Chain A
Amino acid sequence: MEVFARNLLNGISFGMVLFLAGSGLSVVMGVMGITNLAHGALYMLGGYVGWTVAIHYGMNFWLAVFAGGLVSGLIGLTIERIFLRHLYKQPNEQVLLTFGFVYIITNLCIWIWGGRPRMQFASPALSGLLDIFGMPYPITRLMIIAIGLIVAIVLWWLQDRTRLGAIVRAGMDDKEMTTGLGINLERVSMFVFFLAAFVAGVAGVIGAQLMGVHSILGLDILLVALIVVIVGGMGSVQGSLLGGVLIGLIDTFGKSLFPQLAMFTMYLAMIIILLVKPSGILGRRI
């Protein structure tokens, strides 16, 4: 029983990191039509920046989280403003461009931080065990679940309950009409993209508590985020949350029960979804 409970919480906490990593990608893809393959690299960049703030300079962990998000957000914004903006409605070229940035960002990270992986780090206040019905469980993981839920609620609120969210969705459907109504769509797009990149950077620091930071994360996390998007469906926060938690649970239980299939559990889930409901469980459009 304890093993089950532990796996459950581990799966959910890991899934929260996946949600954080994938939500930005999903929202930007579904709502802005931009496939940002550099999303994983932004996650990694955030993680490195967070490490620098928290470990190298020994400052407050939450400051590190914010710093990681900020830097990734700004870099993401730069990519959007200077490059992606000119490739509107050319999805193939957008994908290719962002893929080129994966290489650029990854190599810059290696240049700045060196090839050595960074071990996981967390806020000292959180490093302890909490007693849950007699089972000791790390506080960091509980905090990750909490943060994931908070971010999910905030993003969902933005998406469904604010004018901002409505504008973005309208702009995706019909740009001319929306701008014709006097709405500054450019500014809104910028903000959404920045937000997505910001969340990716935050995810990088939060996830570093479990996984540390290393230079292959750019591609590793991208892959996982893509699977989350495929399984959960793109365009909605709910989809990413569901996809993330589901994949987290599948991966954790899979590795625990069938260790030989360790690498495949995620892919199996993806293929099943593709064969059964290609647009993802909560997907809006194909």
Chain B
Amino acid sequence: MKKLMLIVLAVLFMTFPVFSGSTRETSAAEPIKIGAVLDFTGPVADLGPKFKAGIELALEEAGYKVAGREIKLIVEDGATDVTVALDKFKKMADKDQIHICIGPLMGDAHLAIAPYAAEKKVIITSLINGMFETIKYKTYIIYPTTVDAQTYPFGQYAFQKLGYKTMITVGANYAGKIGYTNGVKKGFEDAGGKVLQQLWPPVGAPDYSPFVSAIKKADVVMFALEGPGPVSRFIYQYRQAGLKMPMVTITQDGDYTPEALKELGDIALGIKGEASYSWQINTPINQKFVKAIKAKTGKVPSCSEQNGYTLAKVMLEGLKATGGDDSYNKLWPAVLKLKMDTPQGPLSFSPEGVAITDVYVTEAQKKDGEYVLSPPLYTVKAIRDWRLPK
């Protein structure tokens, strides 16, 4: 009988999910499940809790309820890894039956998940930017805009306002930063500048000195690397090599969180860059938001909290418009019609699902002894990816 017992036990073991999972169709009284794939481990592990705080704040303000239905937030760790993010997404789509997913962060994870999400009819949103290639799946909310479009205005700014005529770019060799770099390059060259050299250090390069030593002479060096660690390493080795050319970068998201700025210290001061948000934006709605985040986490928000907050609010507004129907066919068009004011600025959507927002130029500054992101030095209104139909 022992063998029979073994078989029975093994079978029970493997079919345990039958008893633990639920596969019933959602009905009106069922809670709406919102999934989130955030990163709590890996190179951008700092950001996961920030996005979560922003999302939770929006849901708390709504009392975790919309149009008479409860909201259940399911958060999974994507570990900054495409394979893990896909696995977690699959689990949430198949087992938990979500129809809305906020995240993941990385561009390649978007590309990996988009076809699957389109099949399963789950609306996914980006977290800090999106890939233009996912537009064709019609299931992607790209916020604040696509990777390239986000940095395009900064390229123009570097030429027109900062007066640089030639540029060298150093971009980490993966989707997100390649996109950023290309955006800056296009903006810069469309305005009349010239990019003399493009360097692509591999992701996780332990040592940037070979690349630093290969940098030729130009008016400015633009760098876009995969996280505060690499950014600090690069700036450090750049300064160690005694290079004097000014630097610009992307001053937002993971690279310039309050914690990262503290670690970077003085060496980050004065480096300007593109950012989609600064906590020092002077509007009543942002001031209210900053206060609420400070109360929740004890720190000022970076763009991570803001993006999480705004994206969750977008979903809530969409659900309000559909009367609580979270199915794709109803929710997708409802979201696209939204026009809102957010802490970051005004927000609307193109018919393809790409958000239309303002973008800013900021820099790191020292204020009252603390290293923070400055208020916007310059604003470009209503950014729209140039490849979208007019």
* A residues adjacent to B (C-beta < 8 A): 3, 6-7, 10, 14, 110, 114-120, 129, 136, 138, 210-212, 214-216, 220, 251-257, 259-260, 262-263
A259 contacts B229, CB within 8 Å? no
A6 contacts B233, CB within 8 Å? no
Q: Given A3-B213, A210-B206, is A119 in contact with B41 using a C-beta cutoff of 8 Å?
A: no
In this complex, the member of B79, B232, B241 whose beta carbon has the largest number of chain A beta carbons within 10 angstroms is B241
List the B residue with the shortest CB-CB distance to A4: B213
Q: Which residues of B contact A260 (CB under 8 A)?
A: 200
Q: Which residues of B contact A116 (CB under 8 A)?
A: 45-46
B199 contacts A259, CB within 8 Å? yes
A262 contacts B202, CB within 8 Å? yes
Partner of A117, one of B205, B227, B241: B227
Please report whether the interface of chain B is mostly helix, strand, loop or mixed according to DSSP.
loop
Q: Given A216-B204, A256-B214, A259-B214, is A118 in contact with B229 using a C-beta cutoff of 8 Å?
A: yes
Q: Which residues of B contact A215 (CB under 8 A)?
A: 41-42
A255 vs B213: C-alpha distance when bound (angstroms): 10
Q: Given A136-B242, A253-B210, is A115 in contact with B42 using a C-beta cutoff of 8 Å?
A: yes
B233 contacts A259, CB within 8 Å? no
Distance from B245 Cβ to chain A, minimum over Cβ atoms (Å): 15
A117 contacts B209, CB within 8 Å? no
Distance from A245 Cβ to chain B, minimum over Cβ atoms (Å): 14
A210 contacts B207, CB within 8 Å? yes
Q: Given A138-B240, A215-B41, is A119 in contact with B213 using a C-beta cutoff of 8 Å?
A: no
* B residues adjacent to A (C-beta < 8 A): 40-43, 45-46, 79, 173, 199-202, 204-207, 209-211, 213-214, 227-229, 232-233, 236, 240-242, 263
Q: Given A256-B214, A262-B201, A262-B202, is A120 in contact with B232 using a C-beta cutoff of 8 Å?
A: yes
Distance from B211 Cβ to chain A, minimum over Cβ atoms (Å): 6
10 contacts between A and B (CB under 8 A): A6-B209, A14-B209, A115-B41, A119-B228, A119-B233, A215-B42, A255-B214, A259-B211, A262-B202, A262-B210
B213 contacts A115, CB within 8 Å? no
Partner of B45, one of A10, A14, A115, A138: A115
- Which A-B residue pairs are the 7 nearest by beta carbons? A115-B41, A255-B210, A115-B45, A211-B206, A117-B229, A256-B210, A138-B240
Distance from B100 Cβ to chain A, minimum over Cβ atoms (Å): 26
Q: Which residues of A contact B236 (CB under 8 A)?
A: 120
Distance from B9 Cβ to chain A, minimum over Cβ atoms (Å): 26
Distance from A61 Cβ to chain B, minimum over Cβ atoms (Å): 16
Q: Which residues of A contact B232 (CB under 8 A)?
A: 119-120
Q: Which residues of A contact B209 (CB under 8 A)?
A: 6-7, 10, 14, 252
List the A residue with the shortest CB-CB distance to B77: A115
Distance from A212 Cβ to chain B, minimum over Cβ atoms (Å): 6
Partner of B229, one of A114, A119, A129: A119
B229 contacts A6, CB within 8 Å? no
Q: Which residues of A contact B40 (CB under 8 A)?
A: 115
Q: Which residues of A contact B207 (CB under 8 A)?
A: 10, 14, 210-211, 251-252
List the B residue with the shortest CB-CB distance to A253: B210
Distance from A3 Cβ to chain B, minimum over Cβ atoms (Å): 5
A118 vs B232: C-alpha distance when bound (angstroms): 10
A136 vs B212: C-alpha distance when bound (angstroms): 14
Taking A116-B46, A120-B236, A259-B211 as given, write out 7 further A-B residue pairs in contact, using a Cβ cutoff of 8 Å, ordered by the A residue number.
A3-B214, A6-B213, A7-B213, A10-B209, A115-B41, A212-B233, A260-B200
List the B residue with the shortest CB-CB distance to A265: B210
Q: Which residues of A contact B205 (CB under 8 A)?
A: 262
Q: Which residues of B contact A220 (CB under 8 A)?
A: 204, 206
Distance from B200 Cβ to chain A, minimum over Cβ atoms (Å): 7
A119 contacts B43, CB within 8 Å? no
List the A residue with the shortest CB-CB distance to B232: A119
Distance from B116 Cβ to chain A, minimum over Cβ atoms (Å): 25
In this complex, the member of A3, A117, A120, A263 whose beta carbon has the largest number of chain B beta carbons within 10 angstroms is A117
Q: Given A119-B232, A212-B233, is A255 in contact with B211 using a C-beta cutoff of 8 Å?
A: yes
A256 contacts B213, CB within 8 Å? yes
Q: Which residues of A contact B210 (CB under 8 A)?
A: 7, 10, 251-256, 259, 262
A262 vs B200: C-alpha distance when bound (angstroms): 9
Q: Which residues of B contact A255 (CB under 8 A)?
A: 201, 210-211, 214
Q: Which residues of B contact A110 (CB under 8 A)?
A: 41
Q: Which residues of A contact B173 (CB under 8 A)?
A: 262
In this complex, the member of B173, B206, B236 whose beta carbon has the largest number of chain A beta carbons within 10 angstroms is B206
A40 vs B206: C-alpha distance when bound (angstroms): 14
A142 vs B363: C-alpha distance when bound (angstroms): 33
List the B residue with the shortest CB-CB distance to A210: B207
Distance from B18 Cβ to chain A, minimum over Cβ atoms (Å): 30
Q: Given A114-B45, A119-B232, A120-B236, is A6 in contact with B241 using a C-beta cutoff of 8 Å?
A: yes
Q: Which residues of B contact A210 (CB under 8 A)?
A: 206-207
Q: Which residues of B contact A259 (CB under 8 A)?
A: 199-201, 210-211, 214
List the B residue with the shortest CB-CB distance to A217: B206
A253 vs B79: C-alpha distance when bound (angstroms): 33
Q: Which residues of A contact B79 (CB under 8 A)?
A: 115
List the B residue with the shortest CB-CB distance to A255: B210
List the A residue with the shortest CB-CB distance to B39: A115
List the B residue with the shortest CB-CB distance to A254: B210
Distance from A74 Cβ to chain B, minimum over Cβ atoms (Å): 26
A116 vs B79: C-alpha distance when bound (angstroms): 11
List the B residue with the shortest CB-CB distance to A136: B242
Distance from B72 Cβ to chain A, minimum over Cβ atoms (Å): 26
List the B residue with the shortest CB-CB distance to A137: B240
Q: Which residues of B contact A262 (CB under 8 A)?
A: 173, 200-202, 205, 210
List the A residue with the shortest CB-CB distance to B227: A117
A116 vs B211: C-alpha distance when bound (angstroms): 24
Q: Which residues of B contact A257 (CB under 8 A)?
A: 214
Q: Which residues of A contact B240 (CB under 8 A)?
A: 129, 138
List the B residue with the shortest CB-CB distance to A10: B209
Q: Which residues of A contact B242 (CB under 8 A)?
A: 129, 136
Q: Which residues of B contact A129 (CB under 8 A)?
A: 240, 242
A10 contacts B41, CB within 8 Å? no
